[in-house]
Amino acid sequence: MTKRYVMVIDLQVCTGCNTCSVACKQENNLPEGVWWTQVVTLGVNGNDSPAGEYPNLFMDYLPLGCQHCANAPCVEVCPSSATTRTEDGLVIQDPTLCGGCRYCMLVCPFTGVRVFAGETLRYSLPFPTGDNPIVHRPSTVEKCNFCAHRLARGLLPACVEACPMVARTFGDLNDPNSEVSELLRTRPHFQLLVEKGADPSTFYLT
């Protein structure tokens, strides 16, 4: 049986610290302004502002990146075959093939999981960081690839490894003995925008 890699994120323990975002940025040598994963504060416009009305205020977080949908429309519409789905369920975006048409961004059911890299790419550091050999190109679309380069070496995605709260679990959903299968069997969970029919591979534990 082929694998189906999924990400399970425990919203009960996520503190919105954005370590995952930074680890991703470092691992993938992302240019300024480009984020492949981010943590959204729910119920408000902006980050780290409380929602609700005083004294009943709360802050809930939602880590958000490409959902690696099983029925990903982005794969079907890409004219240059830059967006593909691997046998084990990763939706990969190859910037060397991307023609910058943005069709993948337009058809993605989720807002903010893809980034259109600007005409000029700038980096905060004068040297590349991380182990992803990707070459970023201006005017192309980028997104999370579940750290495929790390998976190929038997490692976990950088965000999973870095999370100080161990909120993220990654594994094969088709393996009934995997930790992700166990979590989804025993904990209440949801997928985002399930009514869109894309069947995301990111699950949120509640």
DSSP string, 105-163: HHH-SSSSSEEE--SS---SSSS--SS------TT-EEE--TTHHHHTTTPPPHHHHH-
Nearer to another protein, 50 or 99 (CB): 99
**185: contact with another protein by CB under 8 A:** no
Q: Is 105 exposed, middle or buried (0-12, 13-18, 19+ CB in 10 A)?
A: middle
Q: Which stretch binds another protein (CB under 8 A): 23-31, 34-42, 47-55, 194-202?
A: 194-202
**H or E segment and range at residue 23:** helix 19-27
Least Å from the CB of residue 164 to another protein: 29
Q: Give the residues across from 53 on adjacent strands.
A: 56
Nearer to another protein, 87 or 195 (CB): 195
**140: contact with another protein by CB under 8 A:** yes
SS3 (DSSP) at 92: strand
Nearer to another protein, 5 or 103 (CB): 103
Please report, for residues 16, 58, 89, 192, the alpha-carbon distance to residue 51 in angstroms, rounded to integers and kept in the order given: 14, 5, 35, 20
Residue list 80-119, contact with another protein (CB under 8 A): 80, 98-103, 106-107, 109, 116, 119
* Count of positions on this chain that bind another protein (CB under 8 A): 32
Q: Please tell me what DSSP assigns to residue 183.
A: H
**78: contact with another protein by CB under 8 A:** yes
Nearer to another protein, 91 or 163 (CB): 91
**34: contact with another protein by CB under 8 A:** no
Q: Rounded to whole angstroms, how far apart are CA atoms 54 and 184?
A: 35
Query: How many residues in total does the chain contain?
Result: 206
Nearer to another protein, 91 or 160 (CB): 91
**174: contact with another protein by CB under 8 A:** no
* Residues at the site binding another protein, with contacts judged by CB under 8 A: 69, 71-74, 76-80, 98-103, 106-107, 109, 116, 119, 137-140, 190-191, 194-198
